[in-house]
């Protein structure tokens, strides 16, 4: 497998080389991780770029782009590993003890606070110092104890509560009109003053929603063959959110198990009403799922909407024909290509192709990929001149949209009060972190191993996470997302303040 095939590419993010199934390699080479805690499914030859260290106490790590091009032995040990042969170990399993260490040493409390304050933690006269205190947090504790409507006055309060309670899961809700922890006091007044007033525009995409078009995995399992469906979905949405809606501050986060979360954090996005959020969600709605719907995409009109046309031409068509056809073997068996033929509204054409493919054994076209050959045959039949009047040419586009277009959880995006897992927290079912890159994601046990083994090598000026695998994600979060966002918030705050001052002066002059 070529190195580039192992690379998951994200919008506006540098390429990161490595293998998604490195955690499965850890399972094969270490007794620390149980089978049930690993969501990535193994594929043949998919861990060739990993540097496996020749001791079971050390785990494989991702190679950088520079390392893949260097002539180095894959079994070579890092010099720092030779200098520190005594490696600390972490007991098997997932427990609150791990979370105590993680929340105490590695979790970026200050960064989360700065993000969710949106500049209101400063000294500018326009700062709303009640803003962060009106944000809802939800904690899921051990034994599935669920605590909603948590709120904190400042970063210290938030950090102390997280370290004390050690939540298995942290969810972030909206900013309310009043402190959510004191909602009952306002409810007694009967004037309905407790209501959400701000919330990031969010999107949630789960790989399990693609189970009808992927054959390598199902449910929560993910591998290199099907994860590109997530990458493509991100690319389509990110482009539209920036180009069609003018949003700039967009954060993509691996969900920790089987999908991705999107946080749109521009001021305009945070202040959208439920109706406006629903309109944006409907703008993206093309795929209409449901077990009773054979045809899940229906493209109407003489031409595609500009957004759909751009997505099809720039992203979906090339991905379907260049990657998905072969990786999922969509035409390799009757069960698979029959699902594609069911999308064709003309039964005579579908039957003609079915008879042709059933009678044409794979050996007769062994020199060519059967998926490519049969796809070209299908396109030729549907796009030939005689089919123009029947409106079947659009059917090729509908097939590609059915198999590749983003499948959103619409309800997540429509309502301000929907909760979403916080970045950098730990998924309770996989022990994986919600970070910006699923390739470099670590299981909590190994992140703590890194911290323990690197503690004696860290300089006084370094944060504790800097030499762990969490470091790159936190640095990227700060430099590429948080800094530009806070700069924009400051400019917006200054502009609004100056506008109010000007209006006040004009009123006095009058």
CA 19 – CA 39 distance, rounded (Å): 13
Coil, helix or strand for 163?
A: helix
Active-site pick, 136, 159, 171, 238: 136
CA 152 – CA 468 distance, rounded (Å): 29
CA 198 to the chain's CA centroid? 22
CA 225 – CA 214 distance, rounded (Å): 9
Does the annotation mark 74 as catalytic? no
C-alpha torsion 171→174→179→183, nearest 10: -90
The secondary element (H helix, E strand) that includes residue 484 is: helix 483-509
CA 381 – CA 414 distance, rounded (Å): 41
Does the annotation mark 136 as catalytic? yes
Angle between helices 109-117 and 155-165 (to 10 degrees): 130
Which of the 8 DSSP states describes residue 313? I
Following DSSP, what letter does each residue of 314-348 receive, concatenated? IIIHHHIIIIIHHHTTTTSSHHHHHHHHTT-S-HH
Does the annotation mark 142 as catalytic? no
Contacts of 7 (CB under 8 A, 6+ apart): 15, 16, 17, 18
Active-site pick, 111, 128, 206, 244: 206
Contacts of 223 (CB under 8 A, 6+ apart): 20, 21, 40, 41, 42, 43, 46, 216, 217
How would you class 426 by CB atoms within 10 Å of its CB: exposed for 0-12, middle for 13-18, buried for 19 or more?
Answer: buried
Give bridge partners of residue 152 from the DSSP assignment.
none
CA 426 – CA 442 distance, rounded (Å): 10
CA 26 – CA 49 distance, rounded (Å): 14
Q: What tokens does 350 get?
A: 């579908």
Q: Considering only CA atoms, which of 1, 40, 442 is closest in space to residue 226?
A: 40
Contact predicate 202/252, CB 8 Å: no
How would you class 430 by CB atoms within 10 Å of its CB: exposed for 0-12, middle for 13-18, buried for 19 or more?
Answer: buried
Contact predicate 284/406, CB 8 Å: yes
Nearest 5°: phi and psi at 222? -140, 145
Max distance between CA atoms of the chain, in angstroms, equals 89
Active-site pick, 21, 46, 159, 204: 204
Q: What tokens does 303 get?
A: 């031409």
CA 294 – CA 340 distance, rounded (Å): 10
CA 352 to the chain's CA centroid? 41
Catalytic residues: 136, 204, 206
């Amino acid at each position: 497998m070529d190195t580039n095939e192992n690379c998951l590419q994200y919008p506006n993010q540098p390429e990161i080389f490595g293998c998604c199934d490195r955690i499965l390699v850890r399972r094969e080479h270490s007794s620390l991780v149980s089978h049930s805690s690993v969501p990535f499914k193994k594929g043949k030859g998919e861990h060739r770029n990993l540097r496996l260290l020749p001791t079971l106490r050390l785990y494989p790590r991702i190679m950088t782009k520079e390392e893949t091009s260097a002539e180095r032995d894959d079994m070579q040990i890092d010099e720092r590993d030779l200098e520190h042969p005594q490696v600390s170990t972490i007991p098997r399993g997932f427990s609150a003890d791990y979370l105590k260490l993680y929340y105490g040493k590695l979790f970026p409390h200050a960064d989360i606070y700065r993000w969710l304050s949106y500049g209101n933690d400063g000294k500018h006269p326009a700062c709303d110092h009640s803003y962060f205190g009106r944000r809802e947090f939800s904690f899921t504790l051990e034994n599935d104890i669920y605590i909603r409507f948590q709120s904190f006055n400042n970063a210290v309060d938030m950090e102390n509560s997280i370290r004390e309670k050690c939540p298995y899961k942290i969810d972030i809700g909206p900013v309310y009109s009043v402190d959510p922890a004191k909602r009952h006091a306002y409810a007694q007044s009967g004037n309905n003053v407790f209501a959400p007033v701000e919330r990031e525009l969010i999107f949630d995409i789960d790989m399990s929603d693609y189970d009808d078009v992927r054959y390598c995995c199902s449910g929560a399992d993910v591998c290199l063959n099907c994860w590109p469906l997530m990458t493509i979905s991100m690319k389509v949405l990110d482009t539209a959110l920036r180009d069609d809606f003018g949003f700039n501050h967009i954060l993509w986060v691996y969900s920790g198990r089987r999908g991705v979360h999107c946080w749109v954090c521009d001021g305009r996005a945070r202040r959208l009403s439920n109706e406006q959020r629903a309109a944006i969600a409907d703008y993206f709605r093309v795929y209409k799922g449901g077990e009773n719907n054979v045809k899940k995409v229906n493209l109407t009109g003489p031409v595609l909407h500009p957004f759909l046309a751009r997505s099809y031409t720039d992203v979906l068509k090339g991905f379907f024909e260049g990657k998905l056809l072969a990786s999922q073997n969509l035409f390799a068996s009757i069960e698979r290509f029959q699902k594609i033929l069911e999308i064709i509204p003309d039964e005579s054409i579908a039957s003609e192709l079915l008879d042709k493919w059933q009678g044409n054994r794979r050996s007769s076209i062994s020199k060519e990929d059967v998926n490519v050959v049969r796809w070209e045959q299908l396109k030729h039949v549907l796009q030939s001149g005689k089919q123009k009047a029947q409106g079947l040419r659009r059917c090729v586009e509908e097939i590609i949209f059915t198999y590749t277009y983003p499948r959103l959880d619409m309800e997540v995006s429509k309502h301000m009060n929907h909760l979403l897992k916080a970045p950098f927290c730990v998924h309770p079912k996989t022990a994986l972190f919600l970070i910006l890159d699923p390739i470099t994601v670590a299981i909590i046990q190994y992140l703590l191993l890194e911290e323990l083994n690197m503690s004696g090598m860290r300089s006084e000026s370094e944060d504790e996470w800097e030499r762990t695998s969490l470091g790159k994600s936190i640095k990227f979060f700060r430099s590429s997302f948080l800094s530009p966002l806070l700069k924009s918030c400051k400019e917006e705050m200054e502009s609004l303040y100056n506008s109010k001052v000007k209006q006040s002066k004009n009123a006095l002059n009058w």
